[in-house]
Structure 1
Amino acid sequence: MDLNRYYIIYKKSCRDKINKIVNDFKNIGLIIIRNELDKNKIKIPKRGFEDCNFIVFVDSTMLKQEKDFDKVLNSNMKNVLFVCDDELDMNLRTSYINLANLYKEKYNVIFEKFEECKKDEYKELLYIKEIENLDLRVKGLEKFKEEHGETKNYLVLKANTIYRKKMFKTARDLMDKALDIELKTSKENFEYANLLEEYYGEYTKAKKYYEEAIKLKPNYYDAYYNLAVLMSKIFNDYEKAEEYYDKLISMDSEDERAYYNKAIIVMSQTGDKDKAKALYERAIEISPKCSAAYNNLANLYLSKFEDYEKAKECYEKAIEIDKKDFTFYFNLANIYKIHYKDYNKAREYYQKSIKCEDNIYSRMNLAMLLEENLGDYREAIRNFEKVLEIQPGNKVIIDKLKYLDEKLMKNLTITLEKNK
């Protein structure tokens, strides 16, 4: 099977572990599309992916989802490979490979399974990619060219290498030459657009090729989705983005991302809180473990409906789903501080937020809470000092620390006077 296109499924918390696979594949012209889960459930896309090879990265929480594994394994999809975390002792009823071994063997298992006819070419290019000296890498590529010719994957790696040498025009010419070899079908246009977007950040050109992919394949789901994201996040054309999300919903009413992203646009552009609320609720109905949707719905209840109890429930649900996102704890702490005046609870959740990720927002709010509401000046000083570590030279914090030191000294003097 020579599909030359990959789809990697992994949990958000495992992003750093799979970055090397993504970068290696892109460098030699193998398109690898990310599907980042914010939940444990393994979900193989329903349609339009018959020509994809799937790599499912498995961690300990996903191992517990045995029914999901059974569903994937019984789906008659021959193009699925499981990769496990280095630290796991896997006991699946299917083939899998350890991540460390995958890197060590230069993806040999993947290429043998999916790219038999090109495995030697890909492995050789990956060895060349590992050469840190760019001049020596170019020499290795020229030697490869003598043996294999100017293949598309050779041209892509050479373009990426020349790009790093800051020879941008030459790199672009090489990339264009690589594309002249194929760029004829909707799939090829989509792959090039994806490469332009993710690797080079050339969003205008990426948009053009996504549109060309849709011309060739009018219901190209992935192309519409990537276009919708581009139009909203890069071009700020929210009207067009919403149009694309509506198209996506008409094609697949079970993709929670379309409802979630459209809700964000609705709130930012029209402020229609009821419509946004319905969209977030639909996203949650489709994907009950979508923590981000619960968080945004909580924000909506808080700022637009002033329903603090509902907001608190949604933040708590987000935390129940994802206990590692500091923003959920931070938002819940703010509710306890501002709306319930429960300062001890607020302190607890600011501390939990910091435990997830030592961030300036929680440190600052905790320090202010300790000073203004709990009168714990020593702990306030400790947290303001942490803020100063994150933002050295912040004059406001320096002045605040000076003020609190003086206040502590004054309180100490008063106490000593009383005890005479």
Structure 2
Amino acid sequence: TKTYSQWERVGYVQLPRGVAFIVLTSRDKASYEKDSDKLEKVLKTLVYVGPKSATAYSARYDQLIDQHAEAQIEPLLTEWREKAPDDPNAWITSANYYFNQRQTNISAKKPGPGDIRLTDKKGKLAGSISFEQDKSNMKRAAGLLQEATTKFPDRLDIWCGLAFIYQETGDFDNQLATLKKMVAYAREHPAQLKWEGEPLNEPADKFVPEKLHEYGLYYEKKENPEDDKRWFQISTLATQQYPNHAEGFNDAAGYYADLGEWQKARESLEKARQIDPKSVGALINLGNVSVKMKDFTSARKYFEEALKLDPNGEYAQEAKEALRKLNKK
């Protein structure tokens, strides 16, 4: 601590990436003499980092990463998990470290997304440097998060992190199994769920199916029959476990539409509409499916209702164009 001016002292604490300080200002000399011995207590309470606290491990890890001190990182992560067994970040940080390890591969192949282009002396393409997944490290990362789901089952971000690792390694069976376990726990303990250590910012029966929808979209965007089946399995999990949330039924309808099974697509969309009657997107989709089924009367009804609900929204132009075409039939 240091006295800067009359009745004012400043306390400092050196941190790994900067300095924290607190200013103590007193009204008069009597208050200053009375308050001055409390400054150190305030500093310790607010910013003191114990040598083996979770915060200290996190700061030390960041420091070693900055210093590229690879040989010291794994021992630190192991010690962190052993000495702070109730700190979820010990497992999360460890898993992220192993997940982000990549093998450098130099080849004559054309560079893909994220690869470095190699050229010869004349500037012509000669090959690429790629950074590929290290299977053993990926397995280690998944194992750590599996442990974490048993120790901290209320942390949905850990469940989702594990599902993401399986997604990235192409292990759909384990990804789906993880999502099913997450859903089972979430349905039994909806009030105590957390995301990144904080309580959910919306009800669990809204938050969880939206996460399932995100995982399903990953496979839907691949646009091939095998991944479409994976998309449908995730949407089926959502509709079975969260029948009062519309997104799963919308996804199932998309799957059936891709197969040309228009009646099943319409049935799923009708369920979605029952749950969310003001969903303009569902009405537009119902209109398009009805056109495919040559049920032009129903199609016109759906498009008109969509325009009535949102005359100037993102679907308005599509609805107007569809009605224009229907009026010609």
TM-score range with shorter-chain normalisation? Answer: 0.3 to 0.5
**TM-score relative to the length of structure 2:** 0.46
**TM-score relative to the length of structure 1:** 0.38
More strand by share: 2
Bigger relative contact order, structure 1 or 2, given CA contacts below 8 A and separation 6+? 1
Structure number with larger C-alpha Rg: 2
